[in-house]
Structure 1
Amino acid sequence: MSTPKLFEPLAVGSLRLANRIVIAPMCQYSAVDGKMTDWHLIHLGQLALSGAALLTIEATAVLPEGRITWGDVGLWDDATEAAMATVLQGIRRWSPMPVAIQLAHAGRKASTDLPWRGGGQIPPGQPNGWQTLAPSALPYQEGEHAPLAMTHAQMANVREAFADSARRAARLGLDAIQVHAAHGYLLHEFLSPLSNRRDDDYGGSLENRMRFPLEVFDAVRAAFPADKPVGVRVSGTDWVSGGWDVGQTVVFAKALEARGCSAIHVSSGGLHPAQAIPVGPGYQVPLARAVKQAVGIPVVAVGLITDFDHAEAIVANGDADCIALARGILYDPRWPWHAAAHLGATASAPPQYLRSQPRQFKTLLVKGGGTAT
């Protein structure tokens, strides 16, 4: 019996993935002054035992003012780096799963409260609030405190902050970096004509709107070891008329590939409150397919991919090279095990858990390798 495509290995640059299931970055809003806590060890640790091929640390701010909320993880100084090192040490002690990190700046969507406290914007001068920055002085929603339009000096500072975080990621031994250019955050704000109204070399034409995100990618790529992958997460469309769309995404993806990008993770939306998203199983897969048809590097599809046969079909049909799980793997942290059982494949499991599998699936879980030292 042949191996299902979902469980075939894949090379992303020099990184070998054991299968085509990756864990997307998921914000936990549980850091203290940007520093990871024991919550992150528990959260990431249990996902590292899931049998997926790659674990991605949540959107990690490159500057304090780049956090979405005051509870976001950061990687901007020695203290945040040390806290992340402690968490990674705990994960690596028990799991051989490769770990990537998503580097981010929230732009005008920064300075908000925790989601379970309403998630609203916190204006500067209020506790846990600060002044936001963006390509143009346009708030995300009417009535919000407007961001400041970034000067060239502020842009250079953000660009260097991305590079500095990449160097810290290298010191931490992380296996890959994903640059966050999706979901209405800073780099996506530069890309979309709905949020970028600049009249300099960074606004107007598609070439100009792509300029700063490409500069940030180049800075990260130069700062991270050449033999390790650097990918980018994009929103394939704003789902708003006159906004960023899949055609522009394809042009951006091609430009990234030409600069040495290792993979493109295709999501969507997040830039404008007027977005009209046709949510349903695999609703973003056509966006991934369009990018996949235009580039030669691996493409990741994400978004309500919860059915095992659907996931297999996406990869087997060539719509994408990998599928990413987020909310679905929070709900079912053993999704890759169950997919392997359903499809007749094998998935990695820690030896402590091997006896958990039903008798009829005794050949479907294999030892993952983590041991105490």
Structure 2
Amino acid sequence: MTTPPSPSGPARKERQWSVILGAAFLMATSAIGPGFLTQTSVFTQTLLASFGFVILLSILIDLVVQVNIWRIIAVTERRTQDTANAVFPGLGTLLAALIVIGGLAFNIGNVAGAGLGLNVMTGISPTWGAVLSALFAIGIFLIKEAGRAMDRLAQVMGGVMILLTLYVMFVSHPPYAEAALRTVAPVKLDLFAIITLVGGTVGGYITFAGGHRLLDAGIKGQAALPSVNRGASSAILLASLMRVLLFLAALGVVSQGVDLGKDNPAAVVFQHAAGNVGYRLFGVVMWAAAITSVVGSAYTSVSFIRTLSPFIERHHRWITVAFIMLSTLVFALVGKPVAILLAVGALNALILPISLGTMLLAARRPKLVGTYRHPGWMSIAGWLVVVAMALLSVQTIVTTLPKLFGS
């Protein structure tokens, strides 16, 4: 039996661009989960137009983190945990454990969000909505071309979220001039909001979703760096576009004196802007955000343990399925455990400085990167983010632990 020839020329470039775009959407839609929708709405209500400055600053930080990590994944041609173990034995195993624990806990919230989305759209109970959504996500990984199916899901759902939120933004009539002014000249500033946005966009497993996807697709090495740069920056810009659209939609609503409340502020934004139709659209956006985050969390979390054991590598697809099933089972039986989510939030605050710092160290080791020379400005900007996030992660733990123990 002859092996079919691999695509070449225009067909090969088209296939490569499809993978890059899929990786960008995978990372972006992994970031745009239920928490993303809630955080953006809440911070818009508290900071008003000045939240635009927070978004702008977080975008710059996100780009530094994302481009650094994706480039170093490409030139080492290894998954992050393997690079970390090469830098310091055992560090990759620790990082993998943090990623999987965090990914599993937050995936409970993603499954819950998917259930809520179906509930809003169809009236089905959130629990059954979560179960049906989990079965849909599991089906993605059981398809023979799972990687391509995952890319396509991320692209379609990402496009749906952006278009629907764009419509809601227009009908909410936000004060565009005020938003533009306060994006560069804020009257309010919230450090916690900046950290939350950075952590929600490139914290935990999220920043590695697209980088590992490119690696699995064979897009690696120094020759692939231009493509990697495009993918990394596109991913951040896609997530940021959604953030800006939702910010403007929420700003249009709160500028009319509407209180978004605490239960489901994003739903209030959609409903007040576009009535009952807007509420149904919120259900679609919530489900799209949640289901892509379920897929992204499961794929990336398992990718961190695949190379740690030959058994896991052989059966990674079924382990991914089990990951989704366990998340759904926990939600169906006990709901979203707030204490666990708080504890993992504290752990996730540590993941970014550890992972980024490790990758920056790896970039200076010829044994790992060969003749590659990491740009000096990227290293300096990266280390500044490492120090800032490390200090703030300690603050996160200090403020979280008393809440866990009720003090």
TM-score using structure 1 length: 0.30
Write 1 or 2 for the structure with the bigger share of strand: 1
Write 1 or 2 for the structure with the bigger share of helix: 2
Larger relative contact order (Cα-Cα within 8 Å, sequence gap ≥ 6): 2
